[in-house]
Structure 1
Amino acid sequence: MSCPIYKESLLPTTRDVQNTSVNIVNIPVCITCVSSGKHKGHELTEFLENLSYRTQHLQKDLEELETRIYPRYEVLASDIQTEKAELETTYGKLTTAAGKEGEILYLEITAIVNRRKSDIQEMKNKHLSTLNKNTEDITQKIIELKQIISDLKSILKSNDISLTSTYKSRNSKFRTILPKVRVTLPSFTPQKLNKDQLREMFSSLSPISINTEHGRTIKSAEAVSSPPVKSVKSTEGASSLPVKPLLDEQRLTDTIDTEYRQLYSVSCLSDELVWTCGDNETMNILNLRGKLLTSIKTKSGNTPRDIAVTRDGNLVYTDSKTKTINLVKNKQIQTVITLQGWYPRYVCSAASNADREARAVVVVNQLGKLRFRYTGHLSNTKQSFDPVGITTDSQSHILIADFNNDRIDILDQDGQFLGYIQNVELPHGVCVDISDNLFVAEIVNAVVKKIQYLSTQCKSYISKQV
């Protein structure tokens, strides 16, 4: 809306009126322009109403930024910080492995070089021994020759007829000179180093793969102001019908405000009590009215990554920074597992697991043999499947929190898609109590929603033969 006004430079004169048309310019002005007198004879818009409308719009934008958009970016930043913290360990493993392989190769090369050196030393010793033997033989001959020369000189000097008459020459013995030992020295011929073959001796290293997913669009406040739970979208062709059928219209029975800034996980202790954990070091037991009943701090003071309640009613939580899985029993904390080389994130007591990086849910039997692998369903999904929470109910249903698509997928025990629950926003953790009520932890809104999605009346069905 605007306040119409004539620009002063365009105010018409009598001559202008006679010769030309008058241009009226629509310009927004402040409320003080009313007293200027230039609007006399013109209709003024309700500027105060316009200002109030725009103020309300600004307030809605501020609320959306503070409560919905900004926390989402905080979650992304937190995930990146966690990933960065794991880089040292991940790449440290690769560096250590490469170093160990280098050490093995170095030891092998050193062993080969040492064998070569040993062979050279053995050849040298043999050569020296041969020369020493040859020297000894020659020295012995020289001693004998010196003695004969000395004897001949003595005979000649004595003029003794008897010695001269009995002399026998031994020169013929020495005319054949002792053979000279000739040794051909060994030679070292270095091989040309083939660097390609040398590289092939090392283990291969796969290249890094960096993929950027399309950013998901955050729903506006108006888009999520509708009732938070809609009916399950069931698909036909299920292999069998459950004893408790899925409701056509689910009921949101309770919403629990947890007072965390970000809520990571929820685990059912009973129909009326739940454990929760979020963006600080405390794990809380809340009732359905949100009243805090018990609070436990982690042993290390770090934020717990995930929680689960055991069959005995004890609490288990993971601590990624200390790489531990811890048991809370009678308010006492015991570290039950300390992991080496990787960081624990999610924990559950069922024989199934959500592999978020692989975008898949993997279900195995008691022997660890693969039963099936679920990677999402094509019905009404705009983003890639992103499983972050998983639980089961008394009907052997598997319920999976799909973070990217704001919904809970429902599978039967054989992995057949049965339907989904919509209008849960950024579900991060899920659990089911003994009465088959679903509890969903919404990370950004930091609330737990209790949803009835199964009929309380059991029915009998006759399966159709296909």
Structure 2
Amino acid sequence: MDPRTSAQDVMRCDLCETAVVQMHCDTCLVNLCKACVGEHISTDESKDHKVVKFQSRKSTPLYPRCTSHNKQQCTMHCDKCGNPVCTKCLASSQHLGQHLGHKLSEILQIAEEKKDKIIKGVIELRETIYPTYQDIASDVQNRMSQLEKEYGDLSTAITKHGEDWHREIDKLVKKLKAEVDEIKSTQLQTLQKHLDEINKTMSDIKDEIDSNNIATDTNDLSKLFSVTPMANTCIYRNLPQKLEPVFPKLIPGKIQELGKLFGALSSSSLTSDKHGYSMKTPQKSTEAGSSPQVKQLLDEPEIVTTIDTGYGFLYNVACLSDEEIWTSGPNSTMKLYGINQGSLLKSIRTKSRNRPHDIAVTKSGDLVYTDNKNRTVNIVKNEKIEEVIRLQNWEPRGVCSTSSGDLLVIIGSDDLTETKVVRYAGSTEKQTIEFDDKGEPLYSSDSDYITENRNLDICVSDCEAKAIVVVNQAGKLIFRYTGHTPAPKNQPFYPQGIATDSQSHILTADYNNECVHIIDQDGQFLRYIDCGLSEPWGLCIDTNDNLFVAQLGNSQVKKIKYL
């Protein structure tokens, strides 16, 4: 072990390597004993050696050397040019000609500002960006564990289904299980590669932090100015895409026609969602409180305002902002109203001139509507209508925009025998939700409204089944809510519009009982909003948890405060 650097020994002079360090040359960054100071200075008399006590090391700034005037120190900084300048530069006519009117600053002041920027970048890398990548890596690892479990469950389901069959289907069972293993292996490889890339970036971030810390910890201004603040920090803010496995499902058949009816795996993939991750928020003090804010239900909900829309019947309402709402009725016109004045701000007609079946607003503020007669899902951008999805032999019904920017669409078959929820990224189908774990349909043919809860559960209003059907993000059934007794008008539960709030409450309009049900995210009834509503149909909730109720018969929108 080197005695000069050993933690078991005192620091020794860099020249004689025996005497204890007492002095330090801030110019050469050399540790010296008192006896070696003269020898050190005499070895290179061209330098202006700044020898100080060891305890005061790094106290003398090392000014950059001028690139135009050799050996001249740059003690000033030209703010406009962004370059250090020496006294000869300032005195030269050439420099004055180029820099006439240029503002000059003390280079030490600029150095401190630059150091502050670098330190801020290091803090962001260390406290925000790097922890975010840690979370992303953990998320990918969790998805890999989930992938193992899901494919294990899938293999078990295939095996159990195969037990009811005879020897003729053994080969088919093995084939399907081999497909599962192959898909699992492919997706695991993709996720592992994704994780390796994330770990590589995390390593680069740590290197960046270490490099910047060295630059800010030295008094060598040349090293300090070699660092560009925030350059790589901006690169690392662009978080990686989020890979989420879409798991195939066994679609069971009946024993007749073995090869056709035994079942096949649905499509699977690893979808890439650039909006999937968000930057980790640095921890705040407990005084800042947690998010979301806990809100209590009011004893008596309050109707804040009423807006007349002028439709013959009013079906749908969607919040564009806390000041504006979109509405739709029995014709092709969708109307935008200002909430405070109740004034009509804008009207848009559907492309096909059919009435919209449902409307929603995306995260970016664009209006989306479904045209079930034309079999399309459309988006309105800058008052121009773009067709996003066109279906064959299926018609779209309810639609909502998710927190990740996807669209969830309820679609029904033309013969009214099948209904499913499909997740789209643009026009690409990412996920299909149709059956429960027993292979039974989740939804009836009259499921019209859909929303995503804050916890990412998917909530569907199934009018024919007189139920609210809630599944998790993976499409597994969590619960069915079938109403609460006694109901305000003692009529059967007849759910229509559905919405969720910041507390993960689920609200649904009950047309028969002229009220709104509030249940929690686990399906437990909390209370009714029963404040003189007339034929409630569509619902939406703004960012302040105000409820908007579209009343079918009188075509009014009621704004209600209930939290």
TM-score if structure 2 supplies the norm length? Answer: 0.37
Higher relative contact order (CA 8 A, sep 6+): 1
* Greater share of helix: 1
* Greater share of strand: 2
